[in-house]
Amino acid sequence: MERKPEILDTRLVARSRLFGIEEMHLRFSNGEERVYERMRTPPIAGVMCVPLLDNDTVVLIREYGAGVEDYQITLPKGAYEHGEDWREAANRELKEEAGYGAGKLTLLKRMTLSPGYMGHAITVALAEQLYEERLPGDEPEPLEVIPWKLSDLDRLLERDDVTEARVIAALLMTRRLLEQR
């Protein structure tokens, strides 16, 4: 399509402490009109780190995911704090959640989560040249830190506690990048 739909109207239809739901009245280039619902995009961006201890070892964490009501193996991630750029946010989250800082951070990709109904996005950063440093975080319980060999990534992806699509995508992008080096 050459032309994006025209937004005729938007209105907030529900709000919680964390989320807002918005109705969008759209007109498409062929004249068709539809009402869509979407989660309102938060004003604070998110960042996720793929921390590498070496060219074959990634640092994962295990934390509770309220949305799936279970523990998940995931990557360090969180929201930017006021005034931070993605590098500062990535390094802070890495220190808070995994107990490492990064001497080198490389942008891997900016990813959306579910563009059909939300504008949420996350910046994925490769974290290398790790050193031990811990900052206090906001987690309600200590997070388990799990080093995992990327050469054994297929076995990780078969686990029932590895389900987050953006984590899987970030790990696959990292493995591909390392293979190309």
What does the DSSP assignment read for 66-133? TTTTEEEEE--EEEPPTT--HHHHHHHHHHHHHSEEEEEEEEEEEEES-TTTB--EEEEEEEEEEEE-
Q: How confident is the model at residue 156 (pLDDT cuts 50, 70, 90)?
A: very high
* The predicted structure's pLDDT at residue 102: 98
* The predicted structure's pLDDT at residue 95: 98
Which of 46, 80, 57 is CA-nearest to residue 164? 46
Whether pLDDT at 153 is above 70:
yes
| pLDDT tens-digit readout, 140-152 | 899 999 999 999 9
Q: What is the mean pLDDT of the chain?
A: 93
pTM to 2 decimal places: 0.86
| pLDDT tens-digit readout, 6-42 | 999 999 999 988 788 999 999 999 999 999 999 887 6
For the chain, helix (H) and strand (E) counts, in that order, are 3, 10
Show the tokens assigned to 110: 């900016």
Q: How far apart are CA 126 and CA 35, in angstroms?
A: 39
Is there a contact between 118 and 39 (Cβ–Cβ < 8 Å)? yes
CATH number of 46-180, picked from 1.10.510.10, 3.90.79.10, 2.70.98.50, 3.40.50.620: 3.90.79.10
Q: Please give the share of the chain, as a percent, with pLDDT higher than 70.
A: 98
Which of 123, 141, 148 is CA-nearest to residue 71? 141
Is there a contact between 93 and 133 (Cβ–Cβ < 8 Å)? no
Whether pLDDT at 119 is above 90:
no
* The predicted structure's pLDDT at residue 43: 64
| pLDDT tens-digit readout, 120-137 | 889 999 999 999 999 999
Q: How confident is the model at residue 77 (pLDDT cuts 50, 70, 90)?
A: very high
Is there a contact between 76 and 51 (Cβ–Cβ < 8 Å)? yes
Q: How confident is the model at residue 164 (pLDDT cuts 50, 70, 90)?
A: very high
| pLDDT tens-digit readout, 62-74 | 999 988 989 999 9
Q: How far apart are CA 60 and CA 58, in angstroms?
A: 6
Q: How far apart are CA 157 and CA 168, in angstroms?
A: 7
Question: Residue 56 is inside which H or E element, if any?
Answer: none
Residue 127, Cβ density class (10 Å: 0-12 exposed, 13-18 middle, ≥19 buried): buried
Whether pLDDT at 92 is above 90:
yes
Query: What's phi and psi for 93, nearest 5 deg?
Result: -60, -40
